[in-house]
Amino acid sequence: MSLTLLSNVSEIPGVGDFYAKKLAKLEIKTTRDLLLYFPRRWEDYSKITNIAAVKSGEQVSVRGKVVDIITKRSRRGITVTEIIIADNTGSAKAVWFNQPFIENTIRKGEEIYLAGKMEWGFGQLNFVSPAYEKVKEAEDELRHTGRIVPIYPETAGLSSKWIRQKVGLLTKIIYNLKDHLPEVIKKKHDLLELSAAVRTIHFPENMEELKRAQKRFLYDDLFCLLLSVLSNKKEIEGSRAVSVKYDEKIGKKFVEDLPFDLTDSQRKAAWEILKDLSKNTPMNRLLEGDVGSGKTVVCAMAALMVGNAGYQTALLAPTEILARQHYESFKKMLPENIKIVLLTGSIKEKEKKEILSEIENGEAQIVIGTHAIFSENVNFWTLAFVIVDEQHRFGVEQRRKLKIANGEAGIMPHFLSMSATPIPRTLAITVFGDLSLSVLTDMPPGREKVDTYVVPPYKREDGYGFIERKIKEGRQIFVICPLISASDKLGVKSAEEEAKNLAVIYPKRKIGLLHGKLKSEDKEKVMNSFKKGEIDILVSTSVVEVGVDVPNASVMVIEGAERFGLAQLHQFRGRVGRGRHKSYCFLFTESKLGKTLERLNALVNLNSGFDLAEKDLEIRGPGELLGIKQSGKIDQTMVKVLSDPRIIKEVKESAENFLNNNNLNDYPRLLEKVAEFEMAARLE
């Protein structure tokens, strides 16, 4: 049976249902998916040299005959497999640990290739855990040695070697891939055809070829990403919005009534937003500010102007806890003549019916809630302003659903997204190029730096002692866990088991438990008890990530810290340091991986969310950071491209020219690709 691009991966020789299930975990279901599953890096084993010429630390391939092979067990129970290979210049030893099957795979007398780094050990030069390939099996083409070798993102039971073998079986159908990039773009930027680039990205003949293939996918991703952004911008600019004029008297009184002074950046951001609201084209703005920088007060002032002008505002929050907190904050800041309602999934039916009526007849001027705001039975009277908290993108489709309900054609609400997860400057230029940007750069007076520490297992007891001392001083503690319930497979702490564990460690202390599976009223009850000081230690999952404000809490403990991203860790840390007490954040981890510790230590050394955002981009790459499905996950190289304004400008001009002179609907394959980059709101 011949394979096609749409064949199920189970049809590839040597895959079957068993490995197809493993590939499905990597979102690989068809042969096309496998071909577009790109390496994360490449090892250059192209230099094939005589054994006698190999030097310590050199990365090479050698070819020789196996003259001896033995597997033995060390005192610690580790199996060590050793082989000696020889060519006409000398011999070399190769060593593998805990891979006894190799003795049954490689036979004495066979000719093989070895590839890797020659290192000093066991009193001589050795290859340690090298790649290997039998000469008789590599007659057509070397796959794992003697060339530039791709290393793929792996999962349990699927090694890079296995993936290379299966991709190697698909080389004939690579050329069936249809290119989505227009010829004019490929010619302008000197880009390879899609099929040639895919063939090269897996099996490059040399580094120059590899760079050309990388360039194709980097420009490809950037071009499609910018087409998505610019198309969105073009449609919004072609729409109309209501004009909300600034009322100086109301604005001045609002600021005077606040129990604190606005920072300079709050004043600037508020003015930028108010100017946008006064225009007839829809505002499309992102309000960025670090944790605790005071974004809510800026939004409240804008919502006040909209309400006084006779229009409605909708504020969408990612969780019920945060929606309720926004509701309480707005009630405190805004005058009583502004009607504010809270709409969440847990509102009782009778109360909800009344709220829906108030929204529809325009009595409710500000509606704060979760995704319940988007229910079909919610009808706004004059919705003119939408605020989305912690949702980086809000697509045109979501805007269409929230058009003003009076039936006036072409009217769209003004839109403001606020985020405490700063976006790296380079991504702001590209991914969020359709958004105007307001940034809160200074912090309100009184916000101190939170001292942050990585806590390895042997220092855990010291951490527990510190927590007890802080509770005696009258402080409260957050403990964050990655899971709700125990999981043997993942081997990380859960909130439920940690609450029981802490009850044993601190028998005289009140322990609270908060997680997403609790009923809304139970969540509210726990949070209120914590705010009142009735709970000493609150054990929680990530539901406290944003917005929760308990000034008396001064210690944040994060269990399994390696399982969270930098931005999320920074959000957790932002839950403390909100009062007058010195605050601390402890990152509990059992990981010894260098990259993990690099990420956690970034949090120790950097207190600014903006600095952490740049570091996160550097460590994780744009694809993972943004949650977009890219055609090629060459993230570290993409970081360099996104840091180069010249390339961004060059591709952006191409995207603008293409949109100005073409209709995307005439290019169905390109349109499909652009759709992959549409960053619609991630509604929870």
Backbone angles phi, psi at 326, to 5 degrees: -60, -40
Distance of CA 225 to the CA centre of its chain: 16
Q: How many residues does the chain have?
A: 684
Secondary structure E strands in 266-382:
284-289, 312-316, 340-343, 366-369
Q: Which CATH number fits domain 451-606: 3.40.50.300, 3.40.50.720, 3.50.50.60, 2.40.50.100?
A: 3.40.50.300
Cα-Cα-Cα-Cα dihedral sign, residues 631, 562, 319, 570: negative
Q: What span, in angstroms and rounded, lies between the C-alpha atoms of 261 and 269? A: 15
User: In the block, which residue shows the tokens 């570091």?
Assistant: 615
Is there a common fold for 248-440 and 451-606? yes
Are the CB atoms for 181 and 655 separated by under 8 Å? no
What number of other Cβ atoms are within 10 A of residue 350's Cβ?
Answer: 8
Q: Are 569 and 530 in contact (CB under 8 A)?
A: no
Contact between 91 and 85 (Cβ < 8 Å): yes
Question: For residue 77, is it left (φ>0), alpha (ψ between -120 and 50) or beta?
Answer: left
Give the separation between CA 669 and CA 182, rounded to whole angstroms.
Answer: 10
Q: How far apart are CA 288 and CA 279, in angstroms?
A: 22
Mode of pairing for the β-strands spanning 451-455 and 584-588: parallel
Give the Cβ contact number of residue 98 at 10 Å: 11
Q: Are 31 and 72 in contact (CB under 8 A)?
A: no
**DSSP reduced 3-state for 119:** strand
* Residue linked to tokens 């591709």: 651
Strand partners, 514: 540
CB-based contact 91:84 (threshold 8 Å): yes
Query: What's the DSSP call for residue 626?
Result: H
Global pTM? 0.64
Tell me how far apart the alpha carbons of residues 532 and 5 are, in angstroms, rounded to a whole number.
Answer: 61
Q: What is the C-alpha to C-alpha distance for residues 668 and 674, in angstroms, rounded to an integer?
A: 10
Token couple for 180: 């989505």
The whole-number pLDDT of residue 422 equals: 66
pLDDT at 392 (0 to 100): 44
CA distance to 362, 475, 642, 651, per residue, from 192 (Å): 57, 62, 20, 16
DSSP state letters, 553-602: EEEEEETTGGGS-HHHHHHHHTTSS-SSS--EEEEE-----HHHHHHHHH
Angle at 184 between CA 178 and CA 190, to 5 degrees: 85
Domain ranges of the chain: 1-40+154-205, 45-151, 248-440, 451-606
Q: Indicate the fold that domain 45-151 takes in CATH.
A: OB fold (Dihydrolipoamide Acetyltransferase, E2P) (2.40.50)
Contact 69, 82 (CB under 8 A): yes
Fold of 248-440: Rossmann fold (3.40.50)
Token pair for residue 228?
């998505």
The pLDDT of residue 680: 34
445, containing H or E segment:
none
Spans in the chain with pLDDT lower than 50: 392-396, 403-407, 488-489, 625-636, 679-684
